[in-house]
Amino acid sequence: MLTELVNNYNEAIYDTDRAKAMQVVETALEKGATPEMVIFDLVVPAMQQMIKGISEDYDANLAQHFLTAQIAGEVTDAMLEKIESPPEPIGMIVIGTADGDIHSLGKRIVMGCLKANLVESIDLGVNVPPERFVDEASAAGASVIGISAMMVHTATGENGPRAVRRLLRERGLEEKIKLIVGGAPFRFSPDIAKSVGADAVADNGIAACRVVKNCLKKGRS
């Protein structure tokens, strides 16, 4: 049953058809799937399939990323409400767009995917000063700072990820908090991520989820 449902769900996502995707979720519940099964056997595998597709050069696109994340976030919220003892989050990230940058879509995609993977996100919004990233991550005990930047000067400038790296170093937090970056400039030139001091770079919003989980796993080990 689940294989067919996963296929139907994926088909709806690829067609950017939210109503159809939500109908698949309803059908799964009607056929006896538990809320946990909907999250872990339907939504998360669909996301993993998309990540696999992207890495194999499947032509997944921004609209599909947006809807995957949007629906994953919505379904996860709805299913968690149905679970008596919701599972503990597996980690925490603070996320925002770089100083001077108000392009928020990538951040939203990452957050939707992380939610379905039970990673807690603290959304710092857009145009976030470097100090705030570090202050908030430190105060919340987050293991990852995620910075989205869509313009070259916000990705590489003195108040972007580079400044966050400097602050982490000055405060002795580099072992505790990892820095992940994403956005168009890094896609066109992945080497920029290294030069601004990022621990990891995500090629797109969906792939960011895997990168964050890897960082969290390394942090725990």
Interacting residue ranges for other proteins, rule: CB under 8 A: 14-16, 18, 59, 61-64, 66-67, 70, 100-105, 108, 127, 151-154, 156-157, 184-185, 187-189, 191-192, 195
What size, in residues, is the chain?
A: 221
CA dist 185 and 9 (Å) reads 32
Question: Distance between the two ends of the chain, CA-based, in angstroms?
Answer: 36
Our CB check for other proteins shows the closer of 20 and 176 to be 20
Our CB check for other proteins shows the closer of 35 and 160 to be 160
Backbone region of residue 28 per phi and psi (left: phi > 0; alpha: psi in -120 to 50; beta: other values): alpha
Our CB check for other proteins shows the closer of 26 and 170 to be 26
Burial string for 182-199 (b: 16+ CB within 10 Å, else e) reads bbbbbeeeeebbeebbbb
- Taking the complex as a whole, the smallest distance from the CB of residue 139 to other proteins amounts, in Å, to 26
Query: What are the C-alpha distances in Å from 164 to residues 61, 109, 137, 167, 193?
Result: 30, 22, 11, 5, 13
- Taking the complex as a whole, the smallest distance from the CB of residue 105 to other proteins amounts, in Å, to 4
Our CB check for other proteins shows the closer of 153 and 176 to be 153
- Taking the complex as a whole, the smallest distance from the CB of residue 180 to other proteins amounts, in Å, to 19
- Taking the complex as a whole, the smallest distance from the CB of residue 18 to other proteins amounts, in Å, to 6
